[in-house]
A and B are shown apart, each in its own frame.
Chain A
């Protein structure tokens, strides 16, 4: 069965510092991978997705993620954190079927 693991349920970074949110997947076939963000009191929205084209994927708000097959990872990064990045981030995987399997989420806190 497909699954994703997000390491670290809470991550705190200083404003201006690098953001790194980790996601590892389990799969025996090539996956499609997603990052969603949930701002306080809002629904989830898509940040970016990997669909077997370029391994480095750029998303909204300066975020990007790199698919590394050898490491079964799809970590999310942003070079310089902004206060508005405070939110919960979810990694998700599918193998082309209808269901996304979500990780447990990482709550990102930005320290002024």
Chain B
């Protein structure tokens, strides 16, 4: 496809369970970002991948959150032992290259609900 895709689009889970969220960036985009959007709030940066560089994990809220990226393709965001406060829309974005000036293209998001 031409855009960033994310799966699943919706995920309902029980407190304490682990979840995996997937992001397929635009082909050829070297940079990939994960954000969290809680209800009524702005986008919260989580993690950034740029090529083969070490990822910038400075936005991850706790050690329950982790993310991986295979080369310059798919990324998976994993949340272990989910809590109700993890409920949010998780957005993935990719850009042609890193750096703040490179336009980020966003996926539709995964809506996570933790019961």
Contacts and interface: CB of A to CB of B under 8 A. Distances in A.
Given A32-B100, A96-B100, A97-B100, A102 B109 contact: no
Main SS class of interface, A: loop
A99 B45 contact: yes
A99 B106 contact: no
Interface string B21-43: 00000000001000100001111
A98 B104 contact: no
Given A98-B56, A99-B48, A90 B91 contact: no
A98 B108 contact: no
Interface in A61-112: 90, 92, 94-105
A94 B100 contact: yes
A42 interface: yes
B76 interface: no
A105 B98 CA distance: 24
Given A90-B42, A102-B42, A43 B4 contact: yes
Contacts of A9: 40
B101 interface: yes
B25 to A, nearest CB: 12
A41 interface: yes
Interface of B: 3-4, 31, 35, 40-45, 48, 50, 56, 59, 91, 93, 98-101, 103-109
14 contacts: A9-B40, A32-B100, A32-B101, A43-B105, A43-B107, A44-B104, A49-B103, A99-B48, A99-B59, A100-B43, A100-B100, A102-B43, A103-B42, A105-B41
